[in-house]
Amino acid sequence: MTNGIEKLALRPIGRRAALFGLAGVAGTLSMPWIARAQAETIRIGFPTPLTGPFAAEANDQVRSAQLAVKLANDKGGIAGRKVELLVRDDKLNAGEAATRTLELIEKDKVHAVVGALSSAVQLAVNEVTRARSMLYISISQSDTINEIKDFSPYTFHEALNPTMTTAVVAKHSFKKGSKVAYLVADYAYGHEMLRGFKRAAKEIGAQTVSEILHPFGAADYSTFIPTILSSGADILCICNFGRDQANSIKQAVDFGVKDQMKIVVPVLLHNQRLAVDPEVFEGVTGGANYYWGLEETVPSAKAFNDAFRAMYKGTIPTDYGAYGYTGVASLLMAIEKAGGTEPQKVIAALEALKYDIAKGEQSYRKCDHQSMQSVLVLESKAKSAMKSDADLFKIVAAEPASESVLRTCSELGFKS
């Protein structure tokens, strides 16, 4: 026995055997690569705050994004390739988001990143993707990401931005001579919304009578409300997001603010309206990127809602959730047009893309890669006017896509 092994070990390896052996090894090693080149799955990284105060909105985004991926796979994939969504919890923390994005790029080898739900977090993802020439579709409101200092040729901003949101909301709720009081969350989102509203108010001729900052995540607003009531305002503009919105409006209504003035918010959130009674939000006006009621007039919204209902047992998509769908679907359209995931080709395809997938015509502006899209103005319905539990808002206006509500390219620092 040992003798045999020794013989085998001592037998000289011939030249031909060695060549065959090497060829065999090389062939085996390269085979998966050949197979991979033919039909490599398109991987899309999706960092989003699954835990923390925006978890409700984040989970809606994930569900919508998964719908977009499912629809693509159902029709046989994109350019013959399957699509996969890799969801990661960024914990609403910029450092965490940067780490997760690094992992997605370095370990999971994603072809593009979509996601993030806060100004600071999306700027962190933007910084990481920019340095690594990685495609990124950001789906949360931010003005900063449009400015030249943070511009990345690989980044496209699918969400509305505070400037366009507030311009449209102000147009439909402020009048010449209106007296406006602002209650603002003291962080980037609130500040950017306030700046947008004041910019719009100046053009319309409305005046600011009071400006109050409240801490992010505040539970008690009672100390701010007497100042607002005594300011003589006829409009109270509340610039905050997530749970803060429901809390502040509820307390303002309890103090009788609505008897004296109209409440206006930059973004009227579906989930926050659901969190409290309809009486609280009744008559509150605000902007939105999407509302399911759009299906009565827009065919693509109907198709989106139907697909969503089919996948999620009759539930309907929400405003921030829709970003997950439009962000991923528009990216996949561009990848299909580009015939693959080569970043430069996808960028060219995205810049040229005209898409109508959920809310009417959309396209990316060339200079800052901002998605030009319709902005809705919604008014919260009274309980008596609601036809069903999901019938929350009346669409006051649907301002069509237009560059006039955006800051100009030169204003943002781009050479026109």
- The contact set with other proteins (CB under 8 A) reads 50-51, 55, 88-89, 91, 93-95, 98-99, 102-103, 106-107, 119-120, 123-124, 126-128, 130-132, 144, 149-150, 187-188, 191
Q: How far is the CB of 95 from other proteins (least distance, A)?
A: 4
Q: How far is the CB of 216 from other proteins (least distance, A)?
A: 9
Asked if residues 67 and 108 have their Cβ atoms less than 8 Å apart, the reply is no
Nearest to 170 by CA among 189, 186, 188, 193: 193
Measured from the CB atom, the residue of 35 and 131 that comes closer to other proteins is 131
Q: How far is the CB of 142 from other proteins (least distance, A)?
A: 8
Q: How far is the CB of 200 from other proteins (least distance, A)?
A: 22
Measured from the CB atom, the residue of 85 and 123 that comes closer to other proteins is 123
The DSSP line for 277-304 is -HHHHTT-EEEES--GGGGGT-HHHHHH
Buried b (16+ CB within 10 A) or exposed e, 20-32: eeeeeeeeeeeee
Q: How far is the CB of 201 from other proteins (least distance, A)?
A: 23
The DSSP line for 54-92 is THHHHHHHHHHHHHHHHHHHHTT-BTTB-EEEEEEE-TT
Q: How far is the CB of 81 from other proteins (least distance, A)?
A: 24
Q: How far is the CB of 212 from other proteins (least distance, A)?
A: 18
Measured from the CB atom, the residue of 82 and 191 that comes closer to other proteins is 191
Q: How far is the CB of 211 from other proteins (least distance, A)?
A: 17
Measured from the CB atom, the residue of 188 and 261 that comes closer to other proteins is 188
Measured from the CB atom, the residue of 50 and 264 that comes closer to other proteins is 50
Q: What residues contact 78, with CB distance under 8 A and at least 6 apart?
A: 42, 72, 332, 335, 336
Q: Which two tokens stand for residue 217?
A: 């995540």
Q: What residues contact 57, with CB distance under 8 A and at least 6 apart?
A: 117, 242, 269, 271, 318, 320, 321
Q: How far is the CB of 168 from other proteins (least distance, A)?
A: 24
Asked if residues 400 and 136 have their Cβ atoms less than 8 Å apart, the reply is no
Distances (CA, A) of 132 to 13, 126, 189: 47, 10, 27
Strand partners, 83: 42
Measured from the CB atom, the residue of 6 and 106 that comes closer to other proteins is 106
155: helix, coil or strand? strand
**Size of the chain in residues:** 416
Q: Which two tokens stand for residue 201?
A: 């108010």
C-alpha 219/C-alpha 230 separation (Å) is 22
* Helices marked H in 312-414: 319-338, 343-352
Measured from the CB atom, the residue of 47 and 360 that comes closer to other proteins is 47
The torsion angles phi and psi of 383, rounded to 5 degrees, stand at -60, -35
Amino acid sitting at position 371: S
Amino acid sitting at position 320: Y
Q: How far is the CB of 196 from other proteins (least distance, A)?
A: 16
Measured from the CB atom, the residue of 73 and 144 that comes closer to other proteins is 144
Measured from the CB atom, the residue of 88 and 111 that comes closer to other proteins is 88
**Angle 206-212-214 from CA coordinates, rounded to 5°:** 140
Measured from the CB atom, the residue of 132 and 172 that comes closer to other proteins is 132
